[in-house]
Each structure stands twice: as C-alpha cells, then as structure tokens.
Amino acid sequence: MRISLVVQLSVFVGLAITTPAFAREKKIQRADLPAAVEKTVAAQSEGAEIKGLSVEKEDGQTLYEAKMMVDGHSKDVSMSPDGAIVEVEEQVKLDSLPPAVQAGLLAKAGKGKVVKVESLTKHGSVVAYEAQLLAEGKKKSEVQVGPDGKPLSHEE
C-alpha cells in the first residue's frame, strides 16, 4: 500500500511538471478572437471556408489558429495575439513541387505512402515541406525536408 501511494504521487508530480510544456489547444468561436486576429483571419480566409478556430499556449506563447479549406485544399494559419502571421501550413500536390523536393520527401518516406504534403511558411518564406505518411499497419508519421529538398538540421 505504501509503495503504491509513493508511485502514484511520483506519477502525479511528474505529470504536473511536464504538462505545461505541451500545447493546450482550445476550440473557440470567431467572436472570441481579439480584433487584430479577427482582421488577419478575415483577410486570410477570403474565398475560403473556415473549418475551425482555436487558441493554444505553447512554451508560454499564445497562438491563434484558423483551419480553412481553399479551393479544395487545407490551409492552416497561426497568428500571434497582435494578428501577425507566425506560420502557414498549406496543402500542396507532391507533383507540383520542384524535383529535388519530391525526391527528398520520397527518400525520407522510404516504404511509407505519402498521403498529404504541406508547405510550411514562416515570415513570408517557405522553410520546409512536410509529408504525412501511412506505413504498413496503418501507422501514421511525418517527414520534413527543406525548400531545397535536403534534410533539415531541425524540425520546423
């Protein structure tokens, strides 16, 4: 009994310490957006269907995200509370990418099947391409390469 209580307490303390490091996403309504974020959402969603809005805190930073469908593909825009765009993830077709990027993604995919590709844009420039993979046994994973198709030194 005493050992069980110690183990339970240890697990609780461990979770309490590590949980703040993980993002906590909360779905919100458009009316809940700060005015500056609403203005950016309005501009970015022109001609798009908004699928969802959320706010999350990650490493002490608050980010708002708008998930959209634009001309049949997904586009997710992350913004700071002042409405500045932090990151855009936009679905692209694999065969529309430069040959070096296609080759880099397919090499990293190995035997996995590429099911979706997104461009990752920060500060107005594409910083990476990300492919979602489906491996045997229905296991999902992701791989990234830089805009030149080469492996990244760190994940974006």
Higher-confidence residue of 71 and 11: namely: 71
Same domain, yes or no: 56 and 109: no
Same domain, yes or no: 69 and 104: no
Same domain, yes or no: 73 and 113: no
- Quote the pTM value: 0.81
pLDDT value at position 69?
Answer: 98
Write out pLDDT tens, residues 75-84. 999 999 999 9
Task: Decide if 27 is inside a domain.
Answer: yes
Q: Considering its fold, how many domains does the chain have in total?
A: 2
Mean pLDDT of the chain: 88
Q: What's the rounded mean pLDDT across residues 40-57?
A: 97
Q: DSSP for 118-152? A: EEEEETTEEEEEEEEEE-GGG-EEEEEE-TTSSPP
pLDDT value at position 99?
Answer: 98
Task: Decide if 10 is inside a domain.
Answer: no
Write out pLDDT tens, residues 2-13. 444 444 444 444
Residue 71 scores a pLDDT above 80: yes
pLDDT value at position 58?
Answer: 83
127 touches 156 (CB < 8 A): yes
Residue 14 scores a pLDDT above 70: no
Q: Which residue, 82, 101, 118, sits at the end of a domain?
A: 82
Name the pLDDT band for 50 (thresholds 50, 70, 90). very high
CATH number at residue 152: 3.30.505
pLDDT value at position 20?
Answer: 47
Range of the domain at 146: 93-156
Q: Which residue, 62, 82, 102, sits at the end of a domain?
A: 82
Q: For residue 119, what are the CA distances in angstroms to 1, 84, 102, 112, 155?
A: 53, 19, 12, 19, 13
Instruction: Name the nearest CA neighbour of 134 among 156, 154, 113.
Output: 113
Higher-confidence residue of 18 and 89: namely: 89
Count of Cβ atoms closer than 10 Å to residue 47 Cβ:
7
